[in-house]
């Protein structure tokens, strides 16, 4: 998990540097575009396209800054949840598999995962119980996701 966090921190630093370059490129391109006497006036369109592509990276930067603001335990738990989801994501390419389930189906699966957690806790196998807790959390997230008012995939 620490390697994942370090990788994300490195990616954040990289995106922050790119965002700075993007903002400068956009500012310079807009200046050139509005200043006909500027010698690069006629080469502005490619520079604006480059700057606009760079501006798209701002959303990623905001996401990474939000991620960085989370406490390390939440980051690690979220990564564990994502790891389990990725390990089971074999069908429904382009759309998470749980999107095709009803809330009732997800709730039944959630109950089954809770039963598995109970079994591991009863055995006092806390490592296995921790892994089951991630499964329970994923099904809670699935239920939350499909019951929100959003456009389905």
For 77, how many CA atoms within 13 A lie in the half-sphere containing its CB? Answer: 14
Question: If pLDDT is split at 50, 70 and 90, which confidence band does 86 have?
Answer: confident
- Residues 65, 80 within the same domain: no
Task: Clarify whether residues 9 and 61 are in a common domain.
Answer: yes
Q: What is the pLDDT of residue 85?
A: 87
**Which helix H or strand E contains 94, and what residues bound it?**
none
Find the helix or strand (DSSP H, E) in which 43 lies: none
pLDDT given for residue 141 in this prediction: 93
Measured between alpha carbons, how far is residue 56 from residues 22, 77, 121, 131, 150 in Å? 9, 28, 46, 36, 23
Q: What are 33's two structure tokens? A: 């575009």
Q: Could you count the other beta carbons within 10 Å of the beta carbon of residue 119?
A: 13
Q: Is residue 153 part of a domain?
A: no
Give the chain's domain count: 2
Res 4: pLDDT: 72
Judgement on whether residues 32 and 85 belong to the same structural domain of the protein? no
DSSP codes of every residue in 98-133 = GGGS-HHHHHHHHHHHHHHHHHHHHTT-HHHHHHHH
In a shared domain, residues 143 and 80: yes
Residue that terminates a domain, selected from 17, 37, 69: 69
Q: Rounded to 5 degrees, what are φ and ψ at 8?
A: -65, -40
> Which residues neighbour 1 within 8 Å (Cβ) at sequence distance 6 or greater?
75, 76, 79, 80
Q: Which domain holds residue 61?
A: 2-69
Do 108 and 81 lie in a common domain? yes
List, for residues 3-59, the tens digit of each pLDDT value. Answer: 777 777 777 777 777 777 766 766 666 655 555 555 555 555 555 556 666 666 666
Q: pTM for this one?
A: 0.57
Give 42's DSSP letter: G
pLDDT range class, residue 138, cuts 50, 70, 90: very high
Whether residue 142 sits in one domain with residue 90: yes
């Amino acid at each position: 998990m620490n390697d994942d966090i370090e990788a994300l921190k490195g990616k954040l630093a990289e995106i922050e540097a790119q965002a700075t370059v993007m903002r400068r490129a956009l500012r310079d391109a807009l200046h050139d575009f509005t200043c006909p006497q500027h010698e690069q006036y006629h080469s502005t369109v490619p520079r604006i396209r480059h700057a606009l592509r760079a501006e798209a990276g701002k959303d990623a930067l905001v996401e990474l800054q939000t991620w960085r603001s989370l406490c390390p335990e939440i980051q690690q738990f979220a990564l564990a949840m994502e790891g389990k989801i990725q390990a089971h994501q074999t069908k429904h390419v382009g759309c998470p598999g749980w999107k095709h389930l009803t809330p009732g189906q997800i709730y039944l699966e959630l109950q089954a995962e809770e039963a598995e957690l109970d079994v591991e806790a009863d055995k006092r196998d806390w490592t296995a119980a921790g892994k089951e807790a991630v499964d329970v959390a994923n099904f809670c997230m699935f239920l939350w996701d499909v019951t929100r008012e959003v456009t389905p995939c």
